[in-house]
Amino acid sequence: MNRGLARRASAEFAGTGLLVAAVVGSGIAAARLSPHDAGLRLLENALATALALGALILIFGPVSGAHFNPVVSGVDWWLGRRARTGLTGGELGAYLVAQIAGAVGGAVLADVMFGLPAVTWSQTRRDGAHLWLAELVATAGLALLIFALARSGRATAAPAAVGAYIGAAYWFTSSTSFANPAVTAGRMFTDSFAGIAPSSAPAFIAAQLLGGLAAIAGLAWWYPSAGRAARAVVVPQTEQEVSTQ
C-alpha cells in the first residue's frame, strides 16, 4: 500500500470509528439521561449523530472523501470504474477493511468511555421485513444524495446535507437508519441503546447492499454521467492528496 492510500485508509478508519463512537456514545448517554422517555432518547441520539457526521466529513473529507460507509465506497467504485474517476479495486479493498475495523474500534471506544465492558455482544434484536425495507430506503436515499451532490457540483454542501439526511432518517424510517454495513457491524459489539444483535445484522447488511444497488439504478436514470464526479464523493479530495497517490 503506497503512502497516499495508507493516509486515506487511516482517515477512513478514524472517521468511521469516531462516527460509531458518536452513535453508540450518544445512545448510552441518552439512555442514562432520559431512561423513561424513548422519544427523547431517540432525539438525543439522532441529533448527536447528525452533528458529529457533518463535523467528521469536514475533518476527513479532504483526505479520503469521507466515505465512512462500504456502500458509498462500493457505489463510487462501480460508477467511476469506466471513467477511472472513482476508487480502484485495490483502494476499495483498503477502504472496506479500514471502515469495518474503525467501526468495531469506535464501538469499543464508546463502551470504555462510559465505563462499560469493552466488548459485550448486543442483545437487541432488530428483525422484520419492515425494518429491512427501511434500511433499503435509508441507504438508497443516502447514496442518491451523495452522488447527486457530487454530480451537480454541490459537494461542498455534503457535510450539512448528509448530516441532515441521517438525522431525519432516524425518524422517518422504522429501523432508525443504520444505512451503513460497517456501522451495523460495529454496533454488534455494544449491548447498549444503539446496539444490534449479531443474529439481526446480516439481514440489515443485505438490505443496505440492496439499497446501494437501488441507488446505482436511480443514478443511471437520473444522473447518467454521475461516474465522472466519483472523485468528488463524498467531498473532493485536495490536490495535495490526489498528487500523492
Residues 9-32: pLDDT tens digits?
999 999 999 999 999 999 999 999
Q: Which of 203, 190, 202 is nearest to 121 (CA)?
A: 190
* Residue 22 grid coordinates: 458518536
Looking at residue 210, its amino acid is: L
Candidate from 80-94, 113-127, 199-213 with smallest mean pLDDT: 80-94
Q: What per-residue confidence (pLDDT) applies to 202?
A: 98
What is the C-alpha separation between 196 and 142, in angstroms, rounded?
21
Q: What is the pLDDT of residue 237?
A: 85
Residue 173: φ, ψ to 5°: -115, 145
Spell out the domains of the chain, with CATH numbers in brackets: 3-225 (1.20.1080.10)
For residues 48 and 19, is the Cβ–Cβ distance under 8 A? no
Q: What is the mean pLDDT of residues 221-239?
A: 88
- With the C-alpha atoms ordered 21, 23, 24, 29, is the resulting torsion angle positive or negative? positive
Q: What is the pLDDT of residues 101-133, one digit of tens each?
A: 999 999 999 999 999 999 999 999 999 999 999
pLDDT tens-digit series, residues 32-61: 999 999 999 999 999 999 999 999 999 999
- Segment 176-197 shows an average pLDDT of 97
Contact 135, 204 (CB under 8 A): yes
Q: How far is Cα 73 from Cα 150, in angstroms, rounded to an integer?
A: 14
Cell, residue 54: 457533518
- pLDDT class of 83 with cuts at 50, 70, 90: confident
Given this model, what pLDDT does residue 60 score? 98
Q: In angstroms, rounded to a whole number, what is the distance separating the alpha carbons of residues 165 and 15?
A: 18
pLDDT at 148 over 80: yes
pLDDT confidence of residue 241: 46
